[in-house]
Chains A and B, each alone.
Chain A
Amino acid sequence: MGLGMLASRVIRPTASKLSRSSSLHFIRPIVSTPETSSAQSQPQPDPTPDPPPPSPRPPVAGARVHFPNPEDAIEVFVDGYSVKVPKGMTVLQACEIAGVDIPRFCYHSRLSIAGNCRMCLVEVEKTPKPVASCAMPALPGMKIKTDTPLAKKAREGVMEFLLMNHPLDCPICDQGGECDLQDQSMAFGSDRGRFTEVKRAVVDKNLGPLVKTVMTRCIQCTRCVRFATEVAGVQDLGMLGRGSGEEIGTYVEKLMTSELSGNVIDICPVGALTSKPYAFKARNWELKGTESIDVTDAVGSNIRIDSRGPEVLRILPRLNEDINEEWISDKTRFCYDGLKRQRLNDPMIRGADGRFKTVSWRDALAVVAEVVLQVKPEEIVGIAGQLSDAESMMALKDFLNRMGSNNVWCEGNGPNPDADLRSGYIMNSGIAGLEKADVFLLVGTQPRVEAAMVNARIRKAVRANQAKVGYIGPATDLNYDHQHLGTGPKTLIELAEGRHPFCSALANAKNPAIIVGAGLFEREDKDAIFSVVETIAKNAKVVRPDWNGFNVLLLKAAQAAALDLGLVPESANSIESAKFVYLMGADDVNMEKVPSDAFVVYQGHHGDQSVYRANIILPAAAFSEKEGIYENTEGCSQQTLPAVPTVGDARDDWKIIRALSEVAGVRLPYDSLGAIRARIRTVAPNLLNMDERELATFSASLKPDCSHKMSLTDFRPAIDNFYMTDSITRASKIMAQCSATLLKK
């Protein structure tokens, strides 16, 4: 023990008894700034008759207090200021509400409390030792002091211990600049260390193609372990060894096979877990962040696209409590390298020899206009792709309507989509609302691969309120306890007729939720299936005035907006007789059905599957390059913002259609994004209410009875490969690596 430390020990009690005059300044303990606390601790110690004032500081990060029961409020004092918190909150949370940010490493508000980093030590009056505030419940009348010499010295000591075995890697560490340990050692650490021995080293683990590990940097906060077990639902990570031999590992050599594994990069407070594709690419202060929306699935996770110049360098989650909390799926996070590969950058025409030739926009549009004016209106077909934004779908529908055709739809919505009742295709209870449900019935949907963030919510409900999950569909691996009720419509009929044992669980549930997969849209008998599901919903009282548990889980980002805008084909098999097919980024269309003499226009950003059949290619902007409205599966419309410039000669989707309409002589009446949004307002005004969930007005019970016969073929999985579902992810190298290594059985 150093002399200074000993001195500060001896001096501290006397110092608090003395009235902190500046006469003590000639003795300098190791605690860096003992003087600063004296000014702030003036109002606290002596019990004065008038009550302490409420904290003048705003809560940390806008933390809000919610009192479920007003009697449960207790009053604690943080640094002399009174603050009211609900019973059961920890000291750290009380400090946050009082506006004091306590340093922490292991504590994370969405994970369980571990209390092993000891960084959050604070002084509580009448306790002999500093207490770990993250694990200590706040008690009525507790006097918490966060700024005393004792608390400061405790933090400095903890920091010194943490830095003992931490390598001095910062210049070559990817976390540098956004590292909690860096920041907190600057703010709370001592200005010197006394460690002279040899630092330990730990063997790096291989967690797969996404997460890079430098385990020597690990400070054993166990956030990643808790994230993996609690949120991701995989038991892959754990703690091995004791003392300085303690390390995070996978017990046996094993990859982390979770679809949320990328989030451990964000929660790791140091550079032990970093992004493998982003390794050594950039520093965080060089990046421009653009707040945008993810389009790789129908959840519409809020993301921040970090770019430098014309390149997207990484994608990070943005906090949105209603949709993705603060996690995103691996597909969202790592699909960005697909934005740089296989891009269409010039308009191209297929010549007589069958080869593509680069042409100017003027020539390309003239050719398309010439062909479209020659075919009969009913032979024109337009298909919007799964990544289309609402503006371009509106323009496509308007253009085709002006050409006299109404055969326009969005891929994934099936041959005869039902856009009449909005409650029939959105998630009525909302993604956040799923937390309240206590019984789930999953019909033909595998949320783990179709919408990983929705799956995380279901898992949260299963963990928090022991919700029961019944699943109908092909055998699958859901990462929570579930009953596999059956594989097809037969089980559905049993449930509707009340013959199945799961019916009692549904009937006794307080908030039952039924989730129907959008993969069923492709089935011929979808109307019959939906009417059976509605019978089940009616029997179990799933739709009530205070609770609507009838949900459809969509698969593609464009689906909900397409149905809102009324992209419904006039006839189901118009594609077989088409002479002119306009594909707006549609790559999952069965091109075999298109007649060989049809003229196919492909407008899109990636050379994926449909370009090989196209006669003409019009390059368009990807979601990271344009401003566009997307509606997610719960009916919440959000917009992307351009993070990087478009590549080559590409243009925004709606601008291409607008230009084409002028060349074809049917000029669309909008020239700007504002004007096209005004047009959308007349069709689907809910799309303009950004970041607000528009509830469906009428329930599905208004639907006429269905007379179709239900076939008894089993449900099929809607997505084979979680990592490759659209043109961007199919072009991505990282996603290809993932599907090669992580999906291997």
Chain B
Amino acid sequence: MASTVVKYVLQSIKEKGLRSFYRELKDEGFVKCLSDGNLLQTKIHNLKGNLVGIDKFGNKYYENRNLQSGRHRWVEYAEKSRYNASQVPAEWHGWLHLLMLKPKRYGLEHKENFSGEGEELIYHSKGHALNKGQRDWTRYQPWEPTKP
């Protein structure tokens, strides 16, 4: 197996060049694996899984039915450095947690939870000083002198 990997790596370097091969490794998270054990474990796990789907954020969903129930579906986040469970949209959340066989469309646009990531990113109610939305609270519509 090791020889297959080495052969594959050498072939890729030959085809794409060293720099782009390294960039690909980095984008796929293999470089990060060295410092992040969770990601490394996911990568190793992925070798035995089937890729079921990719959502619009780029998260990859894997399944292996031979594994212990409850561990047979998992996700590899598109974000490699600061990933968390709120990045999974509702339809894939349902699939991951065994609520449905296939991810189903959900009405609302998914937004990840930015708590602790900075004041400008988190939710503020309307009228809050940090909410950029409605600023004009005039409740009436003034007459516009259109005709001269």
- Which residues of A does B touch, CB under 8 Å? 309-311, 339-346, 348, 353-356, 606-607, 611-612, 647-648
Contacts and interface: CB of A to CB of B under 8 A. Distances in A.
Contacts of A611: 143, 145
B145 A348 contact: yes
B82 to A, nearest CB: 38
Interface string B135-148: 00001111111011
A501 to B, nearest CB: 54
Interface in B120-148: 139-145, 147-148
A622 to B, nearest CB: 10
B95 to A, nearest CB: 31
Nearest to A648: B142
B142 to A, nearest CB: 5
A607 B148 contact: no
B6 to A, nearest CB: 65
A339 B139 CA distance: 10
Interface of chain A: mostly helix, strand, loop or mixed: loop
A353 B144 CA distance: 16
A355 B141 contact: no
Contacts of B142: 342-346, 647-648
Contacts of B139: 309-311, 340
Contact of B140 (A346, A356, A647): A647
Given A606-B143, A611-B145, 19 more contacts: A309-B139, A310-B139, A310-B140, A339-B140, A340-B139, A341-B141, A342-B141, A343-B141, A343-B142, A344-B142, A345-B140, A345-B143, A346-B142, A354-B148, A355-B148, A607-B143, A607-B144, A647-B140, A648-B142
A353 B148 CA distance: 8
Interface string B13-53: 00000000000000000000000000000000000000000
A35 to B, nearest CB: 49
Interface residues of B, number: 9
Contacts of A341: 140-141
Contacts of B144: 607
A340 B137 CA distance: 13
Nearest to A614: B145
Contacts of B145: 348, 355-356, 607, 611
A343 B143 contact: yes
Contact of A340 (B141, B147, B148): B141
A343 B148 contact: no
A648 B141 CA distance: 10
A310 B139 CA distance: 7
B31 to A, nearest CB: 53
7 contacts: A341-B141, A343-B140, A343-B142, A345-B142, A346-B142, A353-B148, A354-B148
A2 to B, nearest CB: 39
Contacts of A647: 140, 142
B143 A342 contact: yes
Nearest to A612: B147
- Shortest beta-carbon contacts, A-B, top 9: A607-B143, A356-B145, A354-B148, A340-B140, A342-B143, A345-B142, A311-B139, A343-B140, A647-B140
A361 B145 CA distance: 18
Contacts of A346: 142
Nearest to A357: B145
A356 B147 CA distance: 9
A624 to B, nearest CB: 11
B120 to A, nearest CB: 28
B25 to A, nearest CB: 54
A612 B143 CA distance: 11
